[in-house]
Amino acid sequence: MIKIKNEKQIELLEKAGEIVYDTHQELKKHIKCGITTDELNDIAESYIISQNATPSFKNYHGYPKSICTSINEEVVHGIPSNRKLKNGDIVSIDIGAYYKGYHSDSAWTYPVGDISEDKAILLEKTENSLYKGLEVIKEGCTTGDIGNAIESYLKKYNLGIVEVLVGHGVGSELHEPPDIPNYGKKKTGPVLKAGMVIAVEPMINLGAKEVLMLEDEWTIVTADGKPSVHFEHTVLVLKEGFKILTKR
Ligand code: MF3
Ligand code: CO
- Which tens digit of pLDDT belongs to each residue from 93-127? 999 999 999 999 999 999 999 999 999 999 999 99
Q: Which residues contact 247 (CB under 8 A, 6 or more apart)?
A: 17, 21, 233
177: buried, middle or exposed (CB in 10 Å: 19+, 13-18, 0-12)? Answer: middle
Q: How far apart (Å, rounded) are the C-alpha atoms in residues 135 and 73?
A: 28
- The DSSP bridge pattern shows strands 160-161 and 90-99 to be unpaired
Q: Is the peptide bond before 178 cis (omega within 30 degrees of 0)?
A: yes
Q: How far apart (Å, rounded) are the C-alpha atoms in residues 211 and 165?
A: 10
CA of 202 to the centre of ligand 2 (A): 10
Percent with pLDDT over 90 in the chain: 100
Mean pLDDT of 193-204: 99
Alpha helices in 102-220 (DSSP H): 117-135, 143-154
Strands of the sheet with 241-244, listed across from one edge: 176-180, 167-169, 197-200, 233-238, 241-244
Instruction: Look at residues 131, 94, 88 and name the one whose alpha carbon lies nearest to residue 113.
Output: 88
Measured by CA distance, the residue closest to atom 2 of ligand 1 is: 94
Quickly state the pLDDT bin for 164 (edges 50, 70, 90): very high
pTM: 0.98
Ligand 1 contact, 68 CB (< 6 A): yes
3-state secondary structure of 55: strand
CA of 178 to the centre of ligand 2 (A): 12
Q: Which domains does the chain have, with CATH numbers?
A: 7-244 (3.90.230.10)
Question: What's phi and psi for 18, nearest 5 deg?
Answer: -65, -40
Region of residue 184 (left: phi > 0; alpha: psi -120 to 50; beta: else): left
Strands of the sheet with 160-161, listed across from one edge: 160-161, 203-205, 228-230
CA of 66 to the centre of ligand 1 (A): 10
Quickly state the pLDDT bin for 151 (edges 50, 70, 90): very high
Please write the tens of the pLDDT for every residue from 171-189.
999 999 999 999 999 999 9
Report which ligand 1 atom has the smallest distance to the Cα of 165: 9
Question: What's phi and psi for 113, nearest 5 deg?
Answer: 65, -140
